[in-house]
Each structure stands twice: as structure tokens, then as C-alpha cells.
Structure 1
């Protein structure tokens, strides 16, 4: 199993959703671990629970601080914990646009309605008043627009005759506890999934001029139409247990230099010789702009001279 993704959870209260995420992370096949629970309220009950479970905690009241100052202090603690993802779990603070932008695609929230219906507060009463058949909950990526980020998952919850906002909320909370951990697990695993990683390479490789995809020895293989191959994506190639991009390089000297500079990222691919390097994709921190540059360089190495002008775009 790949190294588990580190997650920080921000709370402001009892932390029931944080607890659901935490206990789900203790299952043997969970792809994430909770490394920090932080709050803007030192008295938050969820902090005591996290401490009892041996999770690092941090609290900083926001009173007297600007939004940007408080966000910066919270983020510094998140980064110090090594977290790659942030889960908001009843965190009753609107985050600054700069904070949100820095965690684009890596910060999630759960909302007690079936978005896009009923953003904001009082969602259960609004669903009842509207005569809806169902309330529910939604896990979504956090964007600068409140409760409007891409939806990762939803669970509808039936509204029964005589329901109040409180009775409906109690059942929706059960659904939240089921949904949140599953969506977070899917997001955390995405960065190490062979299918997702291959799709990321494919999108960048196929954007290059005259590129085509084939299958070679069970690997996704990218080349120039009726020409040479410039990239492969290997998954457990010859039992190495890694998902990697294989691209062309200048030769043995460069191969040795790359491996010496970072042996956790670069390695010599079996049966490919001195003119190739393998770049690990499954460590969860891939810089995709860098991968695009490697693909472009490799394409250039095998492209006929008449294609050189195509790269001037």
C-alpha cells in the first residue's frame, strides 16, 4: 500500500465529523491519516477528543486578528504537520481567497444540503419549508465561492411527515459521517491511483503535436504518429511496485546524475537502457507542470526535424 496521505482537519465545535474521519482512518485500507486537528476555538470539544486519540492539536482564537493573519497562522501549523489535504469539519470561519487558492483541489468541506440547493445556513428548515421530499448532505472541494465548489459526493435523506429542522438534522448527520470519509478517501487515493495518474500523463502527452497512444507490454505508451515512442507509464513494471513515467534522456551520465540528485523520485527503468529515466508519479506530490516539461523534452528528442516548428506555440 502506498504511503497514506496526511490530512489536517479544521473544526470549531464538537468535531463529530472530524471523529468520523479519524475513526475511518484507523481502518487498514484507508488511504489517509489525520495528522492535525486545529480550531479557532480553544474550548472546542473536538480538540479534547483528538488529544485523547493521540492526534496533534492546535488552537488559536481569531478575535483581534485579521482574517489574513489568522489564516496564515492556521496554515503555518497545517504545513508544519506535513498535511497535503485539509478537511473542514464544522469550521465556522470563511477563509480568505488567498488561502483557498493555495489549497485548490486539496481542501474539502461537507455541507448539510443537496447542493446546489440551500447554500449557507438553516438548510434543513429551508428544505422542509420548500416541501422537498429529501434533504441530505454534500462533500465538495472548497473554492472562493461559498458552498459552490465541485461536488465529490452526495447522500439524500428522506424528509418524514412531522420532521423538524432538528430531527432532520440528526439523520443527515448520520449520512454525513458515512459520506465524508469515503469522499476524502477517494480524493486522497486519487494522487496514487494508476488510472488517475495515467490519465494525467495522457492529457499532457496527447496535447503534444502528432501524438498517439498505444499499448506496449501492458503499459500506456505515447509516440509520434508513425514514429518513435517518447513516453511510457509503468504500473508495477517487472514487480517494482511503483507507478512511473518513463521518458527519454541524453544518456548514462544524465541518468546517473538524476538518480544521485533524488533517488526517491528517479530510477533506472528495467530493460530500457541508458537513454531513459523513470520518474515516480505515485508519491502524491507530483508537480504536473514539471511532468509536462519532461514529456515535451522527450517528444523533442524523438521528433523528426520537420516537427521542430510545432513546438513554438
Structure 2
């Protein structure tokens, strides 16, 4: 299975970038670092990345609007064929447009136990508040600063006499361990059969009068007391694939889809020309598109009254 392609954005020494990079050297790591980019051409982390054979890119933000600089960074990420972006000490507030372009695919590490202490001076604020623990959090990036769903946290005890510097040094150790683990788990979920089945299940069962059964060892979705409109194939006959099977118009469409993308689409064994299999385990699925495939397949087998209801809902 191909590894997820991760670009790391830094502004300084890049110690968290280094932790991600060295974790990626393990054979079983599900991601690889394909680019280290910075708004600071003098960032020390760029030299480390270069020494490790990682492509780098730098462009100063000085004299540019936030949106103009974000566009330049976005173009560099796209050119590197980036799947996911990891912010690692990237000291820039990102424009909503940039965040939107990487929605669900950009992570950040923050030196506090979010939602506490967003922004700067996190260790000093935790000590002044009398907290028993500081720590770090990895979260998905949203337009709001240091917001977004939290993917993982590590508490770090605050010791008597701690200063912001002494606490920061211990939190940094925790950051280096937490970030690579959370990033690995997050990118791997896109190829996890359990995750993929659950994503299909939520979408299929949201359709009118849908039900789920197991057929030939596969999760199968149909209309109650009616025909089936979707299956999830899980390593069927040892083929090593996780795929969604949906109804299509016939052999011409089946052949066309396979010709367009033979890696993702294939003819499912035992199902005939009226079905197509699309692999889900290649990662980075377009779930909006899969929604449409499921709705179309449902519509193909639904009684007229239910089909009319679906049109109303749409």
C-alpha cells in the first residue's frame, strides 16, 4: 500500500518536523515526508530536511498579503502531490481559503491541553493558573485559531518551581512522541476496513428505508424487504481489497469507468455488468462523490414512491 504523502510547514528549528521525519523512516510508518516548506528562508529546519534528502521550499511572507502568501504555499504543496499537511511550529495565521483547501487533511500540534490556552505563552499561563498539568494537543486545523477536533493529547505534570522554560522543555519531549503517533493513526484510518465500512454505513443507512444485512461475508445495504443497492467487499476471496459495490447502467459504463481509472474501478466477480466495484482502500476518498454513487444506486432499485421521496429530500 502506498504511503500517505505529508508536507510539513515550519518557521524555525523544526524539531517537531524532525520527529515526524525520523518516525517516517520506519518501514511500517504509513506516511512519508515529501516536502518541508517555510515562510522563513533562513529556518534551520530547512537545512536539516535537505541533509535528510527531503525536498524543501521557502518563500518569505514579507511584503505579501496573507492570502497571496498562502496561495504560494498552496501551489508548492500541490506541486509536491501532498496528501496531508502537518503544521510544526508554522508561525502564521492561515487564511480561511487556505484552510478550506486542506479541510480534514491539515493537522497542527499545540503546546497546551486544548481547549485551554489557545494562542501564545501557553506554559506561563498554565503555571500562573495553578494547573497540575500542562501538555500538548494534536488537532485538525480549522479557520479558528487552535480550534478544530482534537485527535490526541499528552498531559505533562507541572513540578514545584517550574518555569515556562522548564515546563516547555518537557512538553516538547511529549510533542515529539505524540505528533508522529497521531499523524500515523490519522492517515492510516483512510485505509482501515473498519473505518471505511463505517463511513459507507452512515451514508447508506441515511437513505430512506435502508437496512443492513451480511451477505456472503460482506456488509450489504438494501431497501427493507426490497432489493440491495450496495455491498462492501472485504478481502473477497483473498484479493486484499476493500471496495464499495454499487449498481450502474450496464457494461458500457462499467468499461468506461475501468478505462478511466483501472486502479480504483474494477468488475466485481459474480455480480455481472450491472455493478461496479470502486476501491476504498487507496485512501483520500471523495466521500461526497461516494454519497452520490450510493444515492444513485439506491434510486435504481427503489420503488417509485420511495424514489419520489428521495427526489424531494435531494
Q: For the superposition of Structure 1 and Structure 2, which TM-score range results when normalised by the shorter chain?
A: over 0.9
* DSSP 3-state at the match of 1:10: strand
Give the aligned partner of residue 152 of structure 1: 151
Give the aligned partner of residue 235 of structure 1: 234
1:126-169 Cα shifts (integer Å, max 9, x gaps):
11111111100000111111011110000000011111111110
Give the aligned partner of residue 183 of structure 2: 184
1:30-50 Cα shifts (integer Å, max 9, x gaps):
111110000111111100000
* DSSP 3-state at the match of 1:8: strand
Give 1:181 shift. Answer: 0.5
Q: C-alpha separation between the residues in 2 aligned to 1:293 and 1:124?
A: 47
For 1:1-313, what aligned pairs fall within 5 Å after superposition? 2-312=1-311, 313=313
Q: C-alpha separation between the residues in 2 aligned to 1:74 and 1:253?
A: 42
Alpha carbons 1:14, 1:44 under 8 Å: kept: yes
Q: C-alpha separation between the residues in 2 aligned to 1:109 and 1:103?
A: 12
* Stretches (4+) displaced over 6 A: none
Residue range with higher mean Cα deviation, 223-232 or 188-197: 188-197
Alpha carbons 1:18, 1:46 under 8 Å: kept: yes
Alpha carbons 1:238, 1:270 under 8 Å: kept: no
Give 1:225 shift. Answer: 0.3
Q: C-alpha separation between the residues in 2 aligned to 1:11 and 1:58?
A: 10
Give 1:301 shift. Answer: 1.6
- How many residues of Structure 1 are paired with residues of Structure 2 in the alignment? 312
Output the TM-score relative to the length of structure 1: 0.97
Q: C-alpha separation between the residues in 2 aligned to 1:236 and 1:26?
A: 28
Q: C-alpha separation between the residues in 2 aligned to 1:178 and 1:285?
A: 25
Uncovered stretches (5+) of structure 1, i.e. residues with no partner: none
Residue range with higher mean Cα deviation, 282-291 or 72-81: 282-291
Q: C-alpha separation between the residues in 1 aligned to 2:192 and 2:23?
A: 20
Let me know the Cα RMSD of the aligned residues: 1.0
Uncovered stretches (5+) of structure 2, i.e. residues with no partner: none
Q: C-alpha separation between the residues in 1 aligned to 2:151 and 2:91?
A: 21
Residue range with higher mean Cα deviation, 258-267 or 30-39: 258-267
Q: C-alpha separation between the residues in 2 aligned to 1:213 and 1:130?
A: 51
1:194-219 Cα shifts (integer Å, max 9, x gaps):
11111111111111111001111221
* DSSP 3-state at the match of 1:20: helix
Q: C-alpha separation between the residues in 1 aligned to 2:304 and 2:121?
A: 64
Q: C-alpha separation between the residues in 2 aligned to 1:306 and 1:73?
A: 51
* DSSP 3-state at the match of 2:147: coil
Q: C-alpha separation between the residues in 2 aligned to 1:82 and 1:298?
A: 32
